[in-house]
Amino acid sequence: MTRKMKLTRALVDKIAATIPDPGPMPDVEALNTEAAIAARHADALAARPPGPFWVFAFGSLIWNPGVPVEARCAARAEGWHRAFCLGPDTRYRGNPDAPGIMLSLAPGGQCNGVALRLPEADIAAHLMTLITREPPVPPVWLDLTSDDGPIRALCFVAPTDEIVRTSGLSLPQIARQIAPAVGMFGNMPDYVLNTVEQLEAAGLHDDMLWELQALLADELAAL
């Protein structure tokens, strides 16, 4: 049975699509230097396991990987769950007046997502694209399970000692905060809409995201 989302494109379009760059985020500025980016790139390649190069997508990478993808499949990360815990974001999908909160993985439970297999040609360049665009944290290699067998995939998970995390907020509080949030990459309602749509299309229902999209729809309707 197909579920009908409460969050719609018309509601999302009540918020500006993008805004000019609000400026650097002081808390992560040191992690965005050329040297820091190069170090994360080198470490990820050095730790690469044998076989195809897989990336685990649990949020925007599902619908906007930004790099070529030659295959994809549903996959699950055990010991992690999807959570809006990365923030406050005052640049990319938020601003100082309306900070956003991005998805990351938090310890415990499990997370259903999509494993993306990148082409081997130009893999170093593709990895640099991902590392430059994704949150400035050292990506880690995780063991995933899939219908095709185990997969070792790179995943962008924010450890607590590397970047500011938002914690202790209820889903209604998160919805209230991110409803007006918009930054240089886009707005938060669009981020949620696309992520939920793509997960549902892949048959990967997420109870937390489904509840959040309904709460976010109410917040946007009230604006």
Taking only the tens place, the pLDDT of each residue in 193-220 is 999 999 998 889 999 999 999 999 999 9
pLDDT for the residue numbered 28 = 81
pLDDT for the residue numbered 1 = 54
Examine residue 6 and state whether it is found in any structural domain, yes or no. no
Taking only the tens place, the pLDDT of each residue in 29-39 is 888 899 999 99
**34 among known catalytic residues:** no
pTM of the model: 0.90
Examine residue 29 and state whether it is found in any structural domain, yes or no. yes
Please, what is the Cα angle at 157 between 152 and 163, to 5 degrees?
155
Mean pLDDT of 57-86: 93
Examine residue 19 and state whether it is found in any structural domain, yes or no. no
Q: What is the CATH number of the domain that holds 94?
A: 3.10.490.10
Examine residue 17 and state whether it is found in any structural domain, yes or no. no
pLDDT for the residue numbered 159 = 60
Taking only the tens place, the pLDDT of each residue in 121-144 is 999 999 999 999 988 878 999 999
* β-pair type (53-57, 100-118): antiparallel
Residue 139's nearest CA partner among 129, 154, 152, 151 is 154
Phi, psi at 15, each rounded to 5°: -105, 140
- Identified catalytic residue from 120, 134, 162, 200: 134
Q: Is the pLDDT of residue 162 over 60?
A: no
Examine residue 36 and state whether it is found in any structural domain, yes or no. yes
Examine residue 14 and state whether it is found in any structural domain, yes or no. no
Full DSSP string of 59-102: SHHHH---S--SEEEEEEEEEEEEEEEEEEESSSS-BTTB-EEE
Longest Cα separation, the chain: 52
Examine residue 205 and state whether it is found in any structural domain, yes or no. yes
Spell out the alpha helix ranges (H) of 134-206.
Answer: 171-178, 188-201
> Range of 169's domain?
24-221
Please tell me the total count of domains within the chain.
Answer: 1
Q: How far apart are CA 56 and CA 155, in angstroms?
A: 5
pLDDT for the residue numbered 166 = 67
Examine residue 16 and state whether it is found in any structural domain, yes or no. no
